[in-house]
Amino acid sequence: MKPVYVSDLIPEQSMTSFFLVASKELRTGPSGRPYLRLELSDRTGAIDARIWDNLEQAAASFELDDFVKVQGRVETYRGKNQLVVERIRRAEPGEADLADFFPHTTEDVDALYSRLREIVAGVGNPWLRRLLESVIEDADILPKLKRAPAAKAMHHAYLGGLLEHVVSLCELCHVAAPRYPGVDADLLLAGAVLHDIGKLDELSYERSFNYTTEGLLLGHIQLAYELVGRKADAIEGFPRELRTLVLHLIVSHHGHYEFGSPKLPMFREAILLHYLDDLDSKMGAVRASLESEKGEGEWSAYNAALERRLLRTDLYLREEFSAPVPEQLPLEPPKKG
């Protein structure tokens, strides 16, 4: 365990610890003075850092995605913590423990994948089942599927997060589909399994979580559209109309143009997929906020994805729940005499 985590840092603190270099760029300040701007991260979060002195020597001593040992002090800039680096070097082999740097799902990844295979095996439509199997059992896709986060920061932003999100969404589909007559459960499940498959290549997650060049240029919706289209085309006789419906589930699942959907959901399974996906994403963000140590007392820190702070109801109601429950009074008054 490393001595200090990002979540431990407080203003005016001097510290020495290990971090991952999540970004690195040379900038010029308002006064014209050059500096090296870094984003340093570990499993608890990330912090902006600045190097003002010996820039050339410092910049040459480490690269992006390196583990580094840092000595510095924490300052407050525009209301946020910022680390002023005094000394920095690349960590030696064995100095940094990977478990200190990468948040990971608490679920068993192999168990999640086994559950996904069970879900796919239960799809009744043979065309959709073959399509889903061709994706989740692909030897090139499988290692990434077991490792990828569901997002860089918004929800399920940890290793294994995408698989956790997909399985959770499939379980929601199983609950919701029977409630609404006419919903094709197989088509809905296909959308749940495939909607975010483009994130396997949109995000980089071997070290820091970031966007790939393909991800920045195309985004996960376009990447998923291309991948699933190729997989469907490789299945001889795959119905053209069914292919179109599956691709529409992918391009419409964000639900609104302003949220990045090229198209609005235009049939019932697409509408249901959007709202279930949004629900699971939002509840993932809620869980992350409530489990974080950041915040004050019964209130979490501000969550940018949800645009609010959250009340920790277990703390808010603690005293009331710990009090003895009064005995229920009889409904009828006692008889006289």
3-state secondary structure of 29: coil
Residue-level pLDDT at 327? 62
Q: Evaluate whether 210 touches 185 at the Cβ level (below 8 Å).
A: no
Query: Hey, is 87 helix, strand or coil?
Result: strand
What does the pLDDT read at residue 323? 55
Instruction: Please report where in the chains the tokens 């603190």 appear, as a residue.
Output: 13
Q: Which residues contact 33 (CB under 8 A, 6 or more apart)?
A: 52
Q: 185-194 and 161-176 helices cross at what angle (nearest 10)?
A: 170
Sign of CA dihedral 262, 263, 268, 274: positive
**How is residue 207 written in tokens?**
């070290």
Count of helix runs (H) and strand runs (E) in the chain? 12, 9
Q: Give the residue among 57, 235, 38 at the shortest CA–CA distance from 134.
A: 235
C-alpha separations of 159 from 195, 242, 293 in Å: 18, 32, 20
- Alpha carbons 210 and 25: distance in angstroms, whole number: 15
* Cα–Cα–Cα angle for 137, 275, 159, rounded to 5 degrees: 45
The whole-number pLDDT of residue 305 equals: 81
Report the amino acid identity of residue 130.
R
Provide CB contacts within 8 A for 260, sequence distance 6+: 219, 221, 254
Q: Return the pLDDT at 35.
A: 92
Task: Identify the CA nearest to 19 among candidates 82, 84, 66.
Answer: 66
Per-residue pLDDT at 208: 63
Task: Tell me the C-alpha distance between 121 and 116, whole Å.
Answer: 9
- Residue carrying the six token digits 């391009």: 251
For the chain, which domains are there? 6-100 (2.40.50.140), 109-288 (1.10.3210)
Determine the pLDDT at residue 223.
96
255 vs 189: CA distance, rounded Å: 17
Residues 6+ apart with CB under 8 A from 74: 9, 10, 11, 12, 13, 14, 15, 81, 82, 83, 84
- Residues recorded for the chain: 337
Compute the distance between CA of residue 285 and CA of residue 258 in angstroms, rounded to an integer: 20
Contacts of 69 (CB under 8 A, 6+ apart): 16, 17, 18, 88, 89, 90, 91, 95
Compute CA 233 distance to the chain's CA centroid, rounded to the nearest angstrom. Answer: 30
Cβ-based burial of 90 (10 A; exposed 0-12, middle 13-18, buried ≥19): middle
| pLDDT digit string, tens, across residues 164-191 | 999 999 999 999 999 999 999 999 999 9
Identify residue 223 by its one-letter amino acid code: L
**In the chain, which stretches have pLDDT less than 50?**
none
For residue 154, CA distances in Å to 42, 193, 209 come to: 17, 19, 12
